[in-house]
Structure 1
């Protein structure tokens, strides 16, 4: 039975040739991102092709059971690395990292489910073996100088820590771990952000927050929740990348609350224009101004993220008022040499403001900028720091 055969893959059966025209929409998004300047790419697997699984289903195993057939560890590693190789040689696109798993121990994935997934709960030996084989195939195909392995995209910080520890403890673990350059974690649940940061730092591995998302809303509530999540992660987990899960998602007839999209689109009706949500602009309050290479610096306010680019002499503060009432902020920038009017201010709020450039009506007096922040708003300050 070919339960998962309708999910596009590059090999539709074990004896089939690779079909590089498969999954055209996803491939278009990938290459369009590259054309528009994206320069760091990661390939990850939600599930092996259905024909490599125990259930013949790419949404998971029977009763959430482990689903990668143990006879296919080699073929799975070969498949993943062959995709990476094809993109590099035929499309000029290099994946910096290759992640064989996605939330492997959460127990969420079961046959006939609505989303691809593959469980590896308490099967850390299989995970270590897949990592080692993926690393070996990258080596054998001449890809290891540009592509390394990332793990484990767990949905729980504590789950990520356990996967790292268990994989490292297995007899082939050191060999497997030698191929790993990056730890990926999802930020949906758990408490031990700082502990996971410490593990990554101790192990000398790059740390990504590789997935988080939440329901859309018509007002600022989704933006505020998104902003608070970023603040908590960046201040405590301290990843070098923070990745939102679903930029655009199907939202028929302009509905809200049933999707994670920063942009809602009715894929069944092309005459309806996409809906750019307030959460899109709330996210842009960070991403438009805190750019790759900026250094996150300390702030004594839990609702403020501070970042600096010393070479460009730029200081960025993103301030979130999560309350239902306005609030007065006294922003101390006395440690920086900033002129009284040498800054710009942008705000997203319920008051028809979407990344709005505000009139520069504030002054810095004795190093303090006083600002009355509207309820449920996100404000970004971009300061020019003089010598």
Structure 2
């Protein structure tokens, strides 16, 4: 039976399985068999940063920033944080200024807008988010991305930050596309973003007549292309590249062209199509989508990601980015968004999704949704409770208790160690029956001959692994399980012990 890695990657020619001692799993690394180059791992500031970033307690804010961005280590050698390499900044549409009149009931999900209706700008807005943006930069986060969910409210057809029509069209007034493009470029230039994502989940119908849960607008591909073509020529004075897609789920980028909002990879990046934008120098050769609703069962998850990889191969050198994920809704009756669950089973699920997106879809960047949250929901990395310890959203507005999650640390098994520019390499497994249940991916930095191997053991028992291809010296081991968070230890490559229900990252020199 093939591992999930080998469901897509082919075994290097001329290799034979290595005989394994009884009860031991052999993992063989093939550094010369390079796959994709990793760009980044990221998360977004929605929506909690607006309030938490304005807390008076700098120590608590810095604790959150350290958990998300720090490359430092504790005295025992364990990481202080997960060292994200990309930070997503939500460019607000102005629902916050509207207050209750926005018809977005939850004030935490309203956002300020830097632009006023008269065309002037107020850069003092979104101060909480600006605090975290600066905190990310101070801690060495390599990339920043600004993303927009809606045009500013004074540019929309209904004067709201959501589209309640139930249709497919963008919520923007006739003739305002160019003004929207000006706004996006102005914000991207002011904050010196590396990337600009102008449309988010355009396939979903945002809002109803009585209101919406957040800012957002649907859009068809022709509108997205028109916005990109209006934006691109204005970006000469910025360093940002445009990233398009942000599809609500994977299949919208290779098919599922319902209502003119699918098949995005070919529509945008195949030369000769009516809305081709791949020749615009300001547009990154990247198609992005979200991993929601495509993670189970395993066979369907793999088949979907194989099609993602296939369309990228067809349109080489197009890159694949997974740009939003969290635990949402009912997932095959195994996991659920509500109530909040921060245990190791949910961490293992997150690690498995990352593994599939990297090894089957061949994604070069993987990004989370809510970096921090006060909600009784499982879609965040860092959680906020009230000062008294309760789960109560309004009670966290000015102060609170900060806590972590296994989602955070399992994500960190990748983000903290697989750094921008590293290349994923091929691996193979043999030995103990059932070894296919151990998910393995490996990454190399050829400049320093460093290897990073991430092993996911979802089973309720310890497994013993022998790593072939690593130098025969002590390796650094970082384990996340029900009691440990990237806990540091050392091991020889021939006798690596994987704790039950764990995500383990191994770093060392390869031969």
Higher RCO (CA < 8 A, seq sep 6+): 2
Structure 2 CA distance for partners of 1:39 and 1:332, relative to 1, 3 Å: closer
> What SS is found at the alignment partner of 1:238?
coil
Distance 1:220 1:309 in 2: 29
1:220-264, Cα deviation, whole Å (9 max, x unpaired): 01101110001100101112211112221114xxxxx51422110
Select the residue among 108, 113, 116 that pairs with 2:212. 113
Distance 2:228 2:492 in 1: 56
Q: Could you tell me whether the CA contact under 8 Å between 2:326 and 2:378 is conserved in 1?
A: no
Gaps spanning 5+ residues in structure 2: where? 1-94, 104-109, 255-262, 295-302, 328-336, 387-394, 430-437
Gaps spanning 5+ residues in structure 1: where? 88-93, 252-256
In the alignment, which residue of structure 2 is the partner of 1:213? 326
Structure 2 CA distance for partners of 1:95 and 1:322, relative to 1, 3 Å: same
Distance 1:345 1:168 in 2: 41
Q: Does 1:294 align with 2:391?
A: no
In the alignment, which residue of structure 1 is the partner of 2:44? none
Q: Could you tell me whether the CA contact under 8 Å between 1:194 and 1:237 is conserved in 2?
A: yes
Select the residue among 338, 355, 359 that pairs with 1:231. 355
Structure 2 CA distance for partners of 1:205 and 1:167, relative to 1, 3 Å: closer
- Return the offset for 1:380: 1.7
Q: Could you tell me whether the CA contact under 8 Å between 1:4 and 1:59 is conserved in 2?
A: no
Q: Which moved more, 1:66-75 or 1:234-243?
A: 66-75
> What SS is found at the alignment partner of 1:319?
strand
Distance 1:175 1:219 in 2: 43
Structure 2 CA distance for partners of 1:376 and 1:79, relative to 1, 3 Å: same
Q: State the number of aligned residues.
A: 357
Select the residue among 461, 470, 492 that pairs with 1:326. 461
1:6-27, Cα deviation, whole Å (9 max, x unpaired): 63101242x2521111111112
Which residues of 2 match residues 146-295 of structure 1 at below 5 A?
A: 146-161=239-254, 162-167=263-268, 173-174=275-276, 178=280, 179-181=282-284, 182-190=286-294, 191-201=303-313, 202-214=315-327, 215=337, 216-251=340-375, 257-266=376-385, 268-269=395-396, 272-295=400-423
In the alignment, which residue of structure 2 is the partner of 1:311? 447
Structure 2 CA distance for partners of 1:110 and 1:48, relative to 1, 3 Å: farther
Q: Could you tell me whether the CA contact under 8 Å between 1:294 and 1:308 is conserved in 2?
A: yes
Structure 2 CA distance for partners of 1:85 and 1:374, relative to 1, 3 Å: closer
- Return the offset for 1:327: 4.1
In the alignment, which residue of structure 2 is the partner of 1:254? none
- Return the offset for 1:159: 0.9
Structure 2 CA distance for partners of 1:38 and 1:328, relative to 1, 3 Å: closer
Q: Could you tell me whether the CA contact under 8 Å between 1:153 and 1:160 is conserved in 2?
A: no
Select the residue among 320, 326, 349 that pairs with 2:481. 349
Q: Does 1:62 align with 2:187?
A: no
Q: Does 1:384 align with 2:509?
A: yes
Distance 1:114 1:376 in 2: 36
The normalised TM-score by structure 2 is 0.64
In the alignment, which residue of structure 2 is the partner of 1:76? 180
Distance 1:219 1:238 in 2: 28
Distance 1:332 1:218 in 2: 31
In the alignment, which residue of structure 1 is the partner of 2:198? 100
The normalised TM-score by structure 1 is 0.83
Distance 2:167 2:452 in 1: 45
Q: Could you tell me whether the CA contact under 8 Å between 1:65 and 1:110 is conserved in 2?
A: no
Distance 1:279 1:175 in 2: 36
> What SS is found at the alignment partner of 1:353?
coil
Provide the aligned C-alpha RMSD in A.
Answer: 2.6
Q: Could you tell me whether the CA contact under 8 Å between 2:162 and 2:217 is conserved in 1?
A: yes
Distance 2:278 2:159 in 1: 27
Structure 2 CA distance for partners of 1:68 and 1:197, relative to 1, 3 Å: farther
> What SS is found at the alignment partner of 1:41?
strand
- Return the offset for 1:166: 3.2
> What SS is found at the alignment partner of 1:174?
coil
